[in-house]
């Protein structure tokens, strides 16, 4: 017998799980659209030279790469590199700032492990500027995040925000520029190690006690956003980059408030570093307050240059990504997501006998034309089995059609939870649903 088990590193869902997964994906997609982000799609396969232009190190090792005839082809490993190629290719056809959303699968040949997949959905938005891009867009991205996670209703969440220029300026002031990548890497994993381990790793880089104390004073600054900003503004540090970072962060915080994000849903956190060399300004990570072990469920930030490998234009941008597959698997594991039904249908139309098929099919079509999701049970069997089918797939409303209902131009609506029955016409039913 052929082995039907799905390959390691790939997610395949049962119908009830798929319905819930699609519900979450639809909320994300609709939120992106509500903010005017234009959906785009790019090919899963790209010429290898396109993907390798910005890939390196471990990423290059993870790329699925193969040849077909004379073509050297790779599968996309994220949605950002294809975006860069897309903007370069369609530059003359785009209007800037260009607002794009992209929800699609990407592929990485990494070792499968808990919460890590070889095929997974990313849900990205970006705003790309031409030459320059207002910092106001840095504040709009968290507003989109706030909209999404408010609707998903996984409990309280916090959008952590910082600016890479502040960290870079601090590192420059401490005369650690030659070790900046290593320092950033240590800061970025501060949530995963103890404070003692954090200090020990900094000492391994040759940092003395005074340097460590000064770094800790700022990256671990406590209080609300205003008090942390005040601490930063009072810093006696001669760094133009740090001052720019503080000014940008202050602007973003004020604009986030103007955009309607409550103060208790975001906080300044200078311990997030994100992406080492990729991000250049505002950065953010989002965590679920009741489930800190999940880590960041949404992250992104500002980058100065999107597509220099493909076009001689300065194209700064800001964006965010939700790793939906990983997030969903963790939500299921933590029992946060509890699938309720195996069908997307809102009602099930059930003719009692074959004599009512034509009436039932006509009614189902009229319901669909009114925007209602309809399943029809067309197999000849007992009403008991038809009701059992409705219960199994989680449809709560069943429309029963017998000879009497046909003669009266009506149907019996049965609630599968309460058992309540009522005879209605189509118009009466539609009034109830509107």
pLDDT at 59: 72
Which residues belong to CATH 3.30.930.10 in the chain?
Answer: 15-333
Which H, E and C letters describe the chain, residue by residue?
CCCCCCCCCCCCCCHHHHHHHHHHHHHHHHHHHHCCCEECCCCCEEEHHHHHCCCCCHHHHHCCEEEECCEEEEECCCCHHHHHHHHHHCHHHCCCCEEEEEEEEEECCCCCECCECCEEEEEEEEEECECECCCHHHHHHHHHHHHHHHHHCCCCEEEEEEEHHHHHHHHHHCCCHHHHHHHHHHHHCHHHCCHHHHHHHHHHCCCCHHHHHHHHHHHCCCCCHHHHHHHHHCCCCCCHHHHHHHHHHHHHHHHHHHCCCCHHHEEECCCCCCCCCCCCCEEEEEEECCCHHHCCCEEEEEECCCCCCCCCCCCCEEEEEEEHHHHHHHHHHCCCCCCCCCCCCCEEEEECCHHHHHHHHHHHHHHHHCCCCEEECCCCCCHHHHHHHHHHHCCCEEEEECHHHHHHCCEEEEECCCCCEEEECHHHHHHHHC
pLDDT attached to residue 186? 84
The correct answer on CATH 1.10.238.10 for the domain covering 347-433 is no
**Considering the domain 15-333 in this protein, what is its CATH number?**
3.30.930.10
Residue ranges, CATH 3.40.50.800, the chain: 347-433
Run means of pLDDT, 10 residues per run, the chain, 434 residues: 88 94 97 97 95 72 91 94 95 97 94 82 97 96 97 94 91 80 81 84 85 85 91 86 94 97 95 75 94 91 89 95 94 87 94 93 96 94 94 95 94 94 93 84
């Amino acid at each position: 017998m052929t082995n039907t088990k799905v390959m390691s590193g790939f997610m395949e869902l049962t119908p009830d799980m798929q319905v819930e997964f699609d519900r979450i994906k639809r909320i994300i997609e609709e939120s992106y659209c509500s903010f005017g982000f234009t959906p785009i799609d790019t090919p899963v396969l790209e010429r290898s030279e396109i993907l390798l232009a910005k890939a390196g190190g471990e990423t290059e090792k993870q790329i699925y790469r193969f040849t077909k005839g004379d073509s050297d082809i790779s599968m996309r490993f994220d949605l950002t590199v294809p975006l860069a190629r897309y903007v370069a290719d369609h530059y003359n056809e785009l209007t800037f700032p260009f607002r794009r959303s992209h929800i699609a699968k990407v592929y990485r040949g990494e070792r499968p492990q808990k919460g890590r997949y070889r095929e997974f959905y990313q849900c990205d938005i970006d705003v790309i500027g031409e030459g320059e891009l207002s910092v106001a867009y840095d504040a709009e991205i968290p507003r989109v995040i706030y909209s999404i996670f408010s609707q998903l209703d996984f409990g309280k969440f916090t959008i952590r925000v910082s600016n890479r220029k502040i960290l870079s300026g601090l590192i420059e002031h401490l005369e650690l520029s030659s070790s900046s990548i290593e320092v950033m890497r240590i800061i970025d994993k501060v949530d995963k190690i103890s404070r003692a381990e954090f200090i020990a790793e900094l000492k391994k880089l040759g940092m003395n006690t005074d340097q460590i104390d000064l770094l800790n004073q700022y990256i671990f600054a406590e209080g609300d956003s205003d008090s942390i900003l005040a601490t930063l503004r009072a810093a006696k540090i001669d760094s133009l980059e740090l001052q720019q970072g503080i000014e940008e962060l202050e602007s973003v915080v004020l604009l986030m408030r103007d955009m309607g994000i409550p103060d208790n849903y975001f906080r300044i956190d200078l311990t997030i570093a994100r992406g080492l060399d990729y991000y250049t300004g505002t950065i953010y990570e989002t965590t679920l307050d009741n489930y800190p072990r999940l880590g960041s469920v949404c992250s992104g930030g500002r980058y100065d240059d999107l597509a220099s490998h493909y076009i001689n234009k300065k194209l700064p941008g800001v964006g965010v990504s939700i790793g939906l597959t990983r997030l969903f698997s963790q939500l299921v594991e933590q029992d946060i997501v509890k699938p309720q039904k195996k069908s997307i249908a809102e009602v099930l139309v059930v003719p009692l006998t074959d004599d009512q098929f034509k009436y039932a099919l006509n009614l189902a079509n009229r319901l669909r034309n009114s925007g209602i999701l309809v399943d029809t049970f067309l197999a000849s069997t007992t009403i008991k089995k038809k009701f059992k089918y409705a219960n199994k797939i989680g449809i709560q409303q069943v429309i029963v059609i017998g000879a009497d209902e046909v003669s009266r131009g009506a149907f019996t609506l049965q609630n599968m939870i309460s058992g309540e029955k009522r005879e209605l016409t189509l118009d009466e039913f539609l009034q109830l649903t509107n």
